[in-house]
Amino acid sequence: MSDAIVKQIEEQGNEVRRLKGDKSSTEDAKNEAIQKLLALKLAYKEATGQDYAAPNARQSKPKKEEKPKEKKQQQEKKPDGKKQTLLGVGTKKDENYSEWYSEVITKAEMIEYYDVSGCYVLRPWSFAVWEAIQAWFDSGIKKLGVKNCYFPMFVSNAALEREKTHIADFAPEVAWVTRAGQSEMAEPIAIRPTSETVMYPSYKKWVQSHRDLPIKLNQWCNVVRWEFKHPTPFLRTREFLWQEGHTAFANPSDAEKEVFQILDLYAGVYNDLLAIPVVKGRKSEKEKFAGGDFTTTVEAYVACNGRGIQGATSHHLGQNFSKMFDISYEDPAKEGERAFAWQNSWGLSTRTIGAMVMIHGDDKGLVLPPRVAAVQVIVVPVGFKTENKESLFDAVDKVTKDLVAGGIKAEHDLRENYNAGWKFNHWELKGVPIRFEVGPNDLAKNQVTAVIRHNGEKRQMSLDGLSEAVKTLLDEIHDAMYQKVLAQRDSHLKTTTCMEEFKKLLDDKCIILSPFCGLPECEEEIKKASTREDGEGAQMGAKTLCIPLEQPKQELPSKCIFPSCSHAAKAFALFGRSY
Amino acid sequence: MSDAIVKQIEEQGNEVRRLKGDKSSTEDAKNEAIQKLLALKLAYKEATGQDYAAPNARQSKPKKEEKPKEKKQQQEKKPDGKKQTLLGVGTKKDENYSEWYSEVITKAEMIEYYDVSGCYVLRPWSFAVWEAIQAWFDSGIKKLGVKNCYFPMFVSNAALEREKTHIADFAPEVAWVTRAGQSEMAEPIAIRPTSETVMYPSYKKWVQSHRDLPIKLNQWCNVVRWEFKHPTPFLRTREFLWQEGHTAFANPSDAEKEVFQILDLYAGVYNDLLAIPVVKGRKSEKEKFAGGDFTTTVEAYVACNGRGIQGATSHHLGQNFSKMFDISYEDPAKEGERAFAWQNSWGLSTRTIGAMVMIHGDDKGLVLPPRVAAVQVIVVPVGFKTENKESLFDAVDKVTKDLVAGGIKAEHDLRENYNAGWKFNHWELKGVPIRFEVGPNDLAKNQVTAVIRHNGEKRQMSLDGLSEAVKTLLDEIHDAMYQKVLAQRDSHLKTTTCMEEFKKLLDDKCIILSPFCGLPECEEEIKKASTREDGEGAQMGAKTLCIPLEQPKQELPSKCIFPSCSHAAKAFALFGRSY
C-alpha cells in the first residue's frame, strides 16, 4: 500500500518540478500540482505514521518522533566526582525551532518521551503550569455557577454516532477498546475524543421542564484523538488533558452570553497567566466545531515560525445536539409543543503549555511567566569559602523561608556537587523568572542580587521588605514579557487586500487581516493559492485563524481578497499558517 | 459454555442439600461442597457477566445492574402545575441495603446510570465530595514533598508484562485498545489498571546517582479494571478515579517511614473528613499487593451488612520493581556494584464516596459529613404569606449571604413551585448537614431554627455571630457522626480464639480479631470454613481485613485460630466478610 503511494509521490514530484521549469504553465496549474503532492504525502503519513522522506534521505533520516539528541542529556563524570551535565540548548531557536523545542522541553524536565507513539509524560515542571491554569480557570467558572463532575471515558458506538456531522469529524481518530483480559467484547467501545455524546444522553434525562435549566457542568479529564499526523509534545498528542464545559439553557441569549464569558476567561488564561496576547474571534464556517452553530476562539502568534496557534475554543451548539439527543421539555409558551435546549461546549487543553514554551523560550531554554512558574525565585549561594560557607548557607535558607512565608514560590539550591555557574545555567534552562545570588558582599550590604530570566537584567534588592518587592517585580516581569510578545506579534500582524502581497507577507512569517466572504470554498482556494513547495518540503497554505471580534478601524472593502471570488467581503478575517 | 456450568451448578446444589440433610456428613465435607458450588457460580458470572439465578428465579429476575425503580423517579404533575416528585427512599436500609443504596445514590443526585456496563456518571453532588478529599489530601502530600505529574493512560504490552507477579494479578482485567479509526493497530495497547509499569521505565532514566533520589510523584487520574464481578457504583466500577503516588528512595528506612506517613493521611481522610473510624493495619500475605513487599491499609466497617471495606492502601514495593525495571545507580558504598531503589506506591479512590454513603446513610437518604458536603447549610423560608413573602425572602437571602461570607457553604431554596415540606424532604434526601428554617416568628426573635440532618435534632440559633456558631455546630456534627459510627463498629468488633464462635460472630455481622499464623493456605482454609450457603444464595467466607498495627492488649495465644493449623499465631488478625 505505502509502496504505491511512494510511486505516486515520486511521479507527482516530477510533475511539480516540470511545471516549475515550464514558463508557460499557469500559477493555478502549479498550485494544483503542489496541492496534490501534499495530499499524497499526507496519505503516506497516515498509512505509515511517518513523514515521507525522499529516497536518498529515507534510509538515514531518523524517525522524527524519537527523542532528539539523547546523548547530549547524558551526564559525564569529572575526575573530582562532580557531575557535569552537558547543559544548555544545543540548537538555536531561529535556526531550527522544531529541534530547539524538543531540546528545551526535555532538558527543562517538562516532558519525558514514552514508548507509545504520540503519548508523553508530563513531569512536575510542566504539570505545575497546568495546575496553576486549573486553579485560576476553575475558580473563574465556579463564579459563573459551573459545577465539576465526571462522566465515563467510554462511549458506546450508538451514542457516539448520534450526531452525524460531529462524528464525521472525529471518527477517523477514535481509539476503540475491543478486548478485556482474554475476552473479545461483543461491542467495541470507544474512548472519548470529546464528551458531547457521552454527556447528552444524561442531559436528556435531567431535563423535564424549563426549571431544570440551565445545566452548567465541567470536567477536567483526559481525551484521546488518535491522530496520524506527526505528533509533538503538548501541541499534538494522542492523549491530552483538558477541561470541557457543557452547558444547556432555556433560551439562546443566555447561552450566547456565556460563550463570550468563557472566551474572556480563556483570554485571561493567556493574558493574565501566560503573558501571551491573543486575538478573540469567531471561527470561519470551514474551521468551526462540527455540529455546532458557531465557534469562538482565542488565537496566539508564534514568532519563530510565523504561525497562528489556536488557544482555546468556546462553542455555541445551538439546538443541533439537543435535537439529536432530545434534550427538551414542554414549551411553557406553546402548549403541546416541545422546546429544545440551547447548548454550549468549551475546552482548554495542555496545548497551552506548548504555546507558552514556543512563544517565550529563548536560546538559553525555557522562560516561565511568573504566575505559572513552579518556582518563581531560585536562591543560589555565591562567592563563599569553606570558612564562611555555613553562615552563608544559613542566610540563604533564611532568605528563602522569608520569601515562602511571604507567599512567593521560592526554593534554594544548596547542592555541593555543582558550582554556581552550573546552577545559573541549570535554572536559566528551566526558566525560573528570578535568580537571587546571595554572597557575603551582598549580605554585608543587607541586599541580594536579582537576575531576571527573560532579559538578563541584574539589580540589587534590599533584604528589608523583600517579599513585597519581589511580588512587584514578578508583576513587572509578567507585564514586560507580555509587552515583548505583543510588540513581536503586532509587527507581524499586517492588513492587505491584495492576494500577491498576502502570499509574500505569509512567507515573511506574518499573520494577515484581509477582507473575506466567509465561504468554505473560497477559504479552500486561498489555502491552495498560498501553499508553497520550498526546498525542504511543502509549506502549508494559510487558513483563517478567526474573524476577530474587534475589527480593524479601516473601512471594509467590498470585495473578498481572493481575486476570482465574486462574493462580497463580510468581515476582515485573520489568516495565517497555523498549528 | 454457560449451559454446561448451569448443569454443574444444579448438580452441585443438589449435593450440598444432600450433605446438609445427611447427619453423618462432616462439616469439612459440607464446606468443601459449598466452596465448590461458589466456585462454579463465580465461573458462571465470569462467563456471562451476570449473577447465577436459580431456574425459577432466572426468568423474572431483572439484571441487577439495571437502574432500580426508574418509575419512582418520575415526576407527577399536580393539578395546580406544581411539580410533585415521589420523594424519599422506598426501601429501608435494614431490609435491603443493596436496593436502598441504589435508590439513595440516584435520588440524591450523586450517580446517573450509563449505557456502558460498570461505568457511572459522577454528578456534581458526589464529585464535590471527591474535590474536598482531593484538596485535603493533595495539600497533605505536598507538605511531604510529593509533586503532581501526569503519565500516559496507555501501556505497551512489553512494559506491562515486565513484573510477572504484578501482571498476573491484573491481566484478567486489562482493557485493550486494538483499533484506531478504521485501522487495526500493529500492537494492541493496554489501558492502565494502575501505573507501576507505566512510570518505572521513566524512573530508570531519571536515576543515575543516589543524588537523583528520592523521587516523589503523584497523579490524579482515571484507571480501568474490567472486572467481571457484579458492578456497584463507587464500590466496584470498571473505570474509577483515584490518586496514585509512586516514590523511590535510596534506603529502605526512608521508604518505610513514608508508607506509614501516607497511611496516616489516609486515616485522616476517613477520620477527619468522612467521619468514619478506620483500623490501620498490614495486609496478610494472601491479600497484599502483587509484586510488593508489604501492604498497609485502613479498614472501615459497614454496619448494615457487617462487612469490612478497604479504605485505601499504601504499599512498600521493596526492590522488586526497581530490579525488574533497573532503577539503580552505582552504589557509593560498594564500588562497582549497583544499588537498587526502594519503592512505594499508594492509592485512594472514589470508592471512599461509596463507603461514606453506606456507612452514614439512613432511611431518609444520604447523610453527608459536614467537611465534604457541597452544601453545609440549606436555608428554607417557612410560614409566610403573600404579603410578607418578599421581606422574608430578602431576609433568607441575607442570612445565606452572611453565612457564605463567613466561610460556610450555604445555599437557599427560594423555589416557588415547591412547598416547605417538599423542600425538607428533598434536602434531607440529599443529606445536607444543617437545614435552617427561617420564618417570620423566628426572625422576630432574631433567630433561626436549625435542624440537624443526622439526628433530626432542632435548635434555635441567634442571628448574632451565626457563622461562628455554625462552624462550631458543623464540628459538633462531625464528631457526633464519628462517635455514632465508632460505637456501632466497636459493638461489632469481637475477639475470639474459637473457630465455632468465629463463624457465629461472622453471621452476627461482626468483624473479628483472632490469633493467626499468617499463612495464605491457612487463610484459605478459614475462608472455606466460614463460607455458608444460606437461603438466598451463597454467603462469602471471611478473609483477613488486616493485621492491626495496634494489637489487642490481651496476650497473644500461642495457636492460630484455625483448629487444624499446626503453626504458631504471629499476631491478632482482623477477619471479616469484605467488599
pLDDT tens, position by position, B167-191: 888 899 999 999 999 999 989 999 9
CA B476 to chain centre: 25
Q: Is A515 helix (H, G, I), strand (E, B) or coil?
A: strand
Q: What is the 3-state secondary structure (H, E, C) of A204-219?
A: HHHCCCHHHCCEEEEE
Contact A247, A217 (CB under 8 A): yes
What is the pLDDT, as a whole number, of residue B125?
98
Q: Which of B156, B171, B217 sits opposite A116 (nearest CB)?
A: B156
Nearest chain B residue to A109 by CA: give it: B206
Q: A40-49, B289-298, B460-469: lowest mean pLDDT where?
A: A40-49
Residue B31 binned pLDDT confidence (cut-offs 50, 70, 90): low
Strands B147-148 vs B215-224: parallel, antiparallel or unpaired:
parallel
Q: Which of B150, B189, B415 sits opposite A116 (nearest CB)?
A: B189
What is the pLDDT, as a whole number, of residue B358?
98
Mean pLDDT of B373-397: 96
What is the pLDDT, as a whole number, of residue B536?
53
Residue A120 Cα, gap to closest chain B Cα (Å): 6
Longest dimension (CA), chain B: 90
CB spacing of B121 vs A148 below 8 angstroms? no
| Cβ neighbours of B297 (radius 10 Å) | 25
Question: Across the A/B interface, how many CB contacts are shorter than 8 Å?
Answer: 150
CB spacing of B179 vs A175 below 8 angstroms? yes
Question: Residue A77 above 70 pLDDT?
Answer: no
Joined together, the cell numbers standing for residue A246 give: 457543557
Strands B434-438 vs B307-318: parallel, antiparallel or unpaired:
unpaired
Joined together, the cell numbers standing for residue B336 give: 562497582
φ/ψ region of A544 (left if φ > 0, alpha if ψ in -120 to 50, else beta) reads beta
Contact B30, B15 (CB under 8 A): no
Question: Residue A432 above 60 pLDDT?
Answer: yes
CA B457 to chain centre: 29
Candidates A529, A567, A569, A564; CA nearest to A547 is A569
Candidates A489, A368, A481, A305; CA nearest to A105 is A368
| Cβ neighbours of A517 (radius 10 Å) | 19
Nearest chain A residue to B160 by CA: give it: A115
CA pseudo-torsion sign A357, A361, A364, A366: negative
> Bridge-partner residues for A147, per DSSP?
A217
Q: Which of A114, A122, A175 sits opposite B149 (nearest CB)?
A: A122
Q: Which of B149, B201, B209 sits opposite A127 (nearest CB)?
A: B149
Nearest chain B residue to A202 by CA: give it: B112
Question: Residue A85 above 60 pLDDT?
Answer: no
Angle between the N-to-C axes of helices B520-530 and B27-48, in degrees from 0 to 180, rounded to the nearest 10: 90
CB spacing of A172 vs B182 below 8 angstroms? yes
Which position has the higher pLDDT, B115 or A64? B115
CB spacing of B180 vs A173 below 8 angstroms? yes
Contact A561, A499 (CB under 8 A): yes
> What's chain B's average pLDDT?
90
Q: Is B381 helix (H, G, I), strand (E, B) or coil?
A: strand
CA pair distance A557, A568, nearest whole angstrom: 9
Rounded (to 5) percent helix, strand, coil in chain B: 40, 25, 35
CB spacing of A154 vs B208 below 8 angstroms? no
In angstroms and rounded to an integer, the radius of gyration of the C-alpha atoms of chain A is 27
Looking at residue A459, the DSSP 8-state letter turns out to be E
Question: Residue A30 above 90 pLDDT?
Answer: no
CB spacing of B239 vs A208 below 8 angstroms? no
What is the pLDDT, as a whole number, of residue B45?
60
Question: Residue A411 above 60 pLDDT?
Answer: yes
CB spacing of A174 vs B181 below 8 angstroms? yes
CB spacing of A123 vs B211 below 8 angstroms? no
What is the pLDDT, as a whole number, of residue B331?
92
Q: A170-179, A559-568, B53-62: lowest mean pLDDT where?
A: B53-62
Q: Is the peptide bond before B68 cis (omega within 30 degrees of 0)?
A: no
CB spacing of A148 vs B131 below 8 angstroms? yes
What is the pLDDT, as a whole number, of residue A234?
98
Which position has the higher pLDDT, A575 or B532? A575
Of the residues A176, A182, A189, A227, the best mutation for testing chain B's interface (the one with the most B CB atoms within 10 Å of its CB) is: A176
Q: Which of B154, B180, B226 sits opposite A181 (nearest CB)?
A: B226
Residue B1 binned pLDDT confidence (cut-offs 50, 70, 90): very low
Joined together, the cell numbers standing for residue B563 give: 483448629
A158 burial level (CB within 10 Å; 0-12, 13-18, 19+): exposed
CB spacing of A191 vs B177 below 8 angstroms? yes
Which position has the higher pLDDT, A37 or A279? A279
Longest dimension (CA), chain A: 90
CA pair distance A359, A97, nearest whole angstrom: 11
Q: Is B472 helix (H, G, I), strand (E, B) or coil?
A: helix
CA pair distance A52, A537, nearest whole angstrom: 10
Question: Residue B32 above 80 pLDDT?
Answer: no
CA pair distance B62, B57, nearest whole angstrom: 10
pLDDT tens, position by position, B257-266: 999 999 999 9
Joined together, the cell numbers standing for residue B555 give: 496476650
CB spacing of A180 vs B175 below 8 angstroms? yes
Which residues on chain A are in Cβ contact (under 8 Å) with B150? 121-122, 127, 130, 241
Would you mind telling me the total number of residues written for chain B in this entry? Answer: 579
| Cβ neighbours of A337 (radius 10 Å) | 10
Which residues on chain B are in Cβ contact (under 8 Å) with A224? 153
Residue B111 Cα, gap to closest chain A Cα (Å): 10
Question: Residue A550 above 90 pLDDT?
Answer: yes
Strands A493-495 vs A511-516: parallel, antiparallel or unpaired:
parallel
Beta strands (DSSP E) in A93-174 are: 111-113, 120-122, 147-148, 154-156
Q: What is the dihedral of CA A315, A320, A326, A329, to 10 degrees?
A: 80
CB spacing of B158 vs A114 below 8 angstroms? no
CB spacing of B181 vs A171 below 8 angstroms? yes
CA pair distance A111, A121, nearest whole angstrom: 5
**Cα angle A206, A207, A212; round to 5:** 100
> Bridge-partner residues for B234, per DSSP?
none
CA pair distance B572, B354, nearest whole angstrom: 28
CB spacing of B239 vs A154 below 8 angstroms? yes
Q: Which of B121, B154, B175 sits opposite A119 (nearest CB)?
A: B154
Residue A10 binned pLDDT confidence (cut-offs 50, 70, 90): confident
Question: Residue A278 above 50 pLDDT?
Answer: yes
Nearest chain A residue to B174 by CA: give it: A181
Stated pTM of the model: 0.87
CA pair distance B75, B423, nearest whole angstrom: 15
What is the pLDDT, as a whole number, of residue A32?
64
CA pair distance A351, B129, nearest whole angstrom: 29
CA pair distance B127, B121, nearest whole angstrom: 10
CA pair distance B494, A241, nearest whole angstrom: 48
CB spacing of A152 vs B120 below 8 angstroms? yes
Which residues on chain A are in Cβ contact (under 8 Å) with B158? 115
> What's chain A's average pLDDT?
90
Candidates A217, A237, A235, A213; CA nearest to A226 is A237
Residue type, A310: Q
Joined together, the cell numbers standing for residue B153 give: 493512560
Looking at residue B271, the DSSP 8-state letter turns out to be I
End-to-end CA distance of chain A: 28
Strands A215-224 vs A239-249: parallel, antiparallel or unpaired:
antiparallel
Q: Which of A148, A152, A159 sits opposite B239 (nearest CB)?
A: A152
Which residues on chain A are in Cβ contact (under 8 Å) with B209? 83
Backbone angles phi, psi at A323, to 5 degrees: -75, -40
Contact A124, B145 (CB under 8 A): no
CB spacing of A159 vs B115 below 8 angstroms? yes
CB spacing of B153 vs A188 below 8 angstroms? no
| Cβ neighbours of B334 (radius 10 Å) | 9
pLDDT tens, position by position, B129-139: 999 999 999 99
Candidates B249, B259, B260, B267; CA nearest to B136 is B267
pLDDT tens, position by position, A515-546: 999 999 999 999 999 998 765 556 789 999 99
| Cβ neighbours of A413 (radius 10 Å) | 20
Which position has the higher pLDDT, B290 or B321? B321
Contact B531, B538 (CB under 8 A): yes
Candidates B110, B119, B137, B545; CA nearest to B361 is B110
Nearest chain A residue to B241 by CA: give it: A150
Mean pLDDT of A491-500: 97
Nearest chain B residue to A151 by CA: give it: B121
Nearest chain B residue to A132 by CA: give it: B148
Residue A202 Cα, gap to closest chain B Cα (Å): 7
CB spacing of A128 vs B122 below 8 angstroms? no
Which residues on chain B are in Cβ contact (under 8 Å) with A188? 179
Nearest chain B residue to A208 by CA: give it: B75
Residue A38 Cα, gap to closest chain B Cα (Å): 22
What is the pLDDT, as a whole number, of residue A71?
39
Joined together, the cell numbers standing for residue A376 give: 518563581
Residue A278 Cα, gap to closest chain B Cα (Å): 27
Residue type, B473: L
CB spacing of B172 vs A155 below 8 angstroms? no
Q: Is A575 helix (H, G, I), strand (E, B) or coil?
A: strand
Which residues on chain B are in Cβ contact (under 8 Å) with A114? 151-152, 202
Q: Is A37 helix (H, G, I), strand (E, B) or coil?
A: helix
What is the pLDDT, as a whole number, of residue B76?
40
Question: Residue B86 above 80 pLDDT?
Answer: no
CA pair distance B510, B575, nearest whole angstrom: 9
Joined together, the cell numbers standing for residue B431 give: 443529606
What is the pLDDT, as a whole number, of residue B42?
63
Backbone angles phi, psi at A245, to 5 degrees: -100, 140
What is the percentage of chain A residues whose pLDDT exceeds 70? 87
What is the pLDDT, as a whole number, of residue A344?
98
End-to-end CA distance of chain B: 28
Mean pLDDT of B213-235: 96
Which residues on chain A are in Cβ contact (under 8 Å) with B181? 171-174, 226, 228
What is the pLDDT, as a whole number, of residue A1?
47
CB spacing of B222 vs A222 below 8 angstroms? yes
Joined together, the cell numbers standing for residue A175 give: 481509539
Q: A4-18, A416-430, A456-470, B345-359: lowest mean pLDDT where?
A: A4-18
> Bridge-partner residues for B348, per DSSP?
B243
Of the residues B121, B138, B227, the best mutation for testing chain A's interface (the one with the most A CB atoms within 10 Å of its CB) is: B121
Which residues on chain A are in Cβ contact (under 8 Å) with B208? 75
Q: Residue with C-alpha cell 502581497?
A: A501
CB spacing of B148 vs A124 below 8 angstroms? yes
Contact B573, B513 (CB under 8 A): yes
Which residues on chain A are in Cβ contact (under 8 Å) with B246? none
Q: Is A1 helix (H, G, I), strand (E, B) or coil?
A: coil
Candidates A513, A479, A476, A480; CA nearest to A498 is A513
